[in-house]
Structure 1
C-alpha cells in the first residue's frame, strides 16, 4: 500500500511535487530545462530554468484558498505590477485564460493548484532589519492598501474575509492542546481576547491585504524592496496588515525600533489606522495562534516534526502577552 503523502520524508515529498510542477509547466507555455527546489514549506516553490529566463512555480500543497480566491489573488498581483511602482512578480497566464493550473495528483488524492510567475532578482530578505528596509516596508504596505482600495472594488468579494483569529480555517489547535491543562487554558484565554478585538473591528472598512508581509516574502535588490507570495491575501482592515507585520518584527534585541520605522514609512504615504493599543496587541498575538494552528494542519514533513516544539513556544509567548499586555517573540531570560 502506498505511503500517504503526509507520512513521506521531505525528499520524497519534494520529488512528488516536482512531478506536479513538471506536468503543470506546459499549461503555462513553459519547457523548463531544469526544475530546482526553492522552498518546501507550507506550500512548495520551484525555480524553473527556461529558454526565456527563470520562472517561479508554486505548488499549493497546503493552501486552503479556493481556486476562485487564487485567481483573484493573482489578478490583484498582476494589477499591482501594472499600476504601481511596487516590485512584484508578474503572474503567468495558463492556456484557456486565468492564472491557475489544476494538476491531478494520485499521491495526494486530489487536484493540486499551481501558479507561476516571473522571477524576482535578489535574495530573500529573511529579516527586515535596517531602518531603510523597515521604512520601505511601511511605504510599500501603504501603497498596496491605496491600490487595493481602488482596484476593482466590485470584485473584492472574490477574496475571503479575514475575520476571527484563525481567518475561518478549521480549528485543530484546541484539540491538540486539550490534554495539557495549562497550555489549553492559555490558548483559550488568548483566543477569547483576540476574538473580542476582531469583533470590535467588524465594522471597519476593509480592502484586500497581503496579510503576510515579513522578510521571508520580501527581496531587497539594488536598494529596493520586492514582495511576493500573495497566497494569504484576503479582505481585512489595514490595521491587520500592520499587526501581522509587527509580529515578525518583534523578534530581536530592539523590539520597538523596526516597528516604529515601518509605521513612519506607512504614515508618509497614508494615515495610520486609529486603533486602541489593546486591540492592536491582540491582532499581533492572533498571528501566533494562527501559525500554531497552520503548523498542526500542515502535511509538510519538516513542519509536522516541529509542531510539538512550536506549541511549547506558543504557550510561552501567549503567557507573556497575557501577563504584560505586549506581545513579543523574544521573551525575557530567566
Structure 2
C-alpha cells in the first residue's frame, strides 16, 4: 500500500502502526502475548499483554509533537507524582538500558514515532463527570499544581511553554475550508483577543508543569479515587490555564460541575488570581487550539470531523466575543 498515511481509513492506519508498536515493545524488553488498539485519536494507544501476565498501555505518538526530551520530563514527573503524592497515575516503564521512551523508524509516518509505555490503569471511565467527580478533579488538579511548584525538570528533560493560545502549533485556521468572510473575521478576532490575554498574563510570570488536558477521557475511577493518565500534553504554564482547560469540557453541562471543580481546588490550594474576563479568554483559547488541531491531524476519523467542527468553533467563539462568556451549549453547535 503506497497511499499517504493521512488518506488511509482508520483500520488501515491502525494496521500500519501495529508493527511500530511491536518493535517498540521489544525495545522495552516485553515479550508480547497479545496486543490490541484501545484508542486511535490524537495519539494511538495499544493494550499490551505480556507473557509474564503484566499488562501495559503502549502509546505511539501518532500526531504528538513531543520530543525525547519532552517524554523524559513527562515520564519523570509522572513517576515523581506516584512516589510523592496521593494522586493515582500509571507507572512509566523504562527500557532495559534505562530510557523512558524510544523512537521507532516509521516510514509510513514520514518520521520516527515516539513511543512510551506505562502500567495498565484499571478502573471505571470518568467521561461524564458528576459534581462529586468534578470536585475530586479540582482537588487532584490542585495537588498536581502544588507538587509541580516544587519539582524540577530532570537533566536532559524539557517541556514546551504554553504562553500563546495555540501552544506553538502550526496555525492552520486561515486555511479552514467552508467558512465565510465573517466566519474568518471571528477567528481572527478571537486569536487576537486570546493572544493579548496570554501575553499579558505571562509577562514575568513563573510557570510550572501542567497536565494541560484534564478532562473525563483522561480520568478513571480506581478503588474510589480519581486516577489521572496521558501526560503527553504536559507543558509549562499558569495554574489558571489548567482550570480553564477543564472548564472548557464542562461548559456544555450543568454549571454545578464547574463550580464543584473550583470548590475542590480551593479545598487543597488557593485559587489562582485571575479576572473573570481573562479566565473566559483562556477557556475560549481551548476552542481555538482544538479546532486548529483537527485541521492538521493525520488521524482519519478526526480529519473527517474537521470542517464541521470548525463551523461549530466559530459559533462558540462568536458567542464569546459578543457576550464575554464562553459556552459549548449553543443551539446547532453540539459537536
Q: Give the distance between the partners of 1:59 and 1:264, measured in 2 at CA.
A: 36
Partner of 2:167: 167
- Going from structure 1 to structure 2, the CA distance change for 1:238 and 1:157 (only over 3 Å counts) comes to farther
Q: Classify 1:333/1:57 alpha carbon distance in 2 versus 1 (closer, same or farther; 3 Å).
A: closer
- Give the whole-Å Cα distance in 1 for the aligned partners of 2:42 and 2:308: 17
Task: Give the superposition deviation at 1:95.
Answer: 2.8
- Report the CA distance between 1:157 and its aligned residue: 7.5
1:188 corresponds in structure 2 to 188
Partner of 1:205: 206
Is this contact kept in 2: 1:29–1:94, CA < 8 A?
A: yes
8 A Cα contact 2:145 2:210, kept in partner? yes
In structure 2, C-alpha distance between the alignment counterparts of 1:176 and 1:328, rounded to whole Å: 22
- Residue 22 of structure 2 corresponds to 22
Q: What is the deviation of 1:27?
A: 1.3
Alignment RMSD: 1.7
Determine if contact 1:285/1:318 at 8 Å carries over to the other structure: yes
Q: How far did residue 332 of structure 1 move?
A: 4.6
Q: Is the 8 A contact 1:42 1:298 kept in 2?
A: yes
Q: TM-score under structure 2 normalisation?
A: 0.95
Deviation at 1:324, TM superposition (A): 1.1
How do 1:1-334 residues align onto structure 2 when only pairs under 5 Å count? 2-50=2-50, 51-128=52-129, 130-152=130-152, 158-176=158-176, 180-202=180-202, 203-252=204-253, 254=254, 256-332=255-331
| Deviations 1:221-278 (CA, angstroms, capped at 9, x unpaired) | 23210000101100001000000000001112x1x21111011111111000110111
Deviations 1:105-143 (A, max 9, x none): 122222100000001111331122x22111110000000
Tell me which stretches of 4 or more aligned residues in structure 1 moved more than 4 Å. 153-157
Query: TM-score, normalising length from structure 1?
Result: 0.95
Structure 1 unaligned residues grouped into runs of 5+ = none
Distance 2:214 2:96 in 1: 31
Query: Shift of the alpha carbon at 1:154?
Result: 7.5
SS in 2 for 1:251: coil
Contact 2:70–2:157 (Cα < 8 Å) also in 1: no
Distance in 1 of aligned mates of 2:53 and 2:9:
33
SS of structure 1 residue aligned to 2:163: coil
Contact kept in structure 2, 1:103 and 1:113, CA below 8 Å: yes
Superposed CA offset, 1:271-326 (max 9, x none): 00110111000000000000011111100000111111101111111111111111
Gaps of 5+ in 2: none
CA distance in 2, matches of 1:154, 1:82: 15
How many residue pairs were aligned? 331
Aligned mates of 1:80, 1:179 — CA distance in 2? 44
Deviates more, 1:50-59 or 1:140-149: 50-59
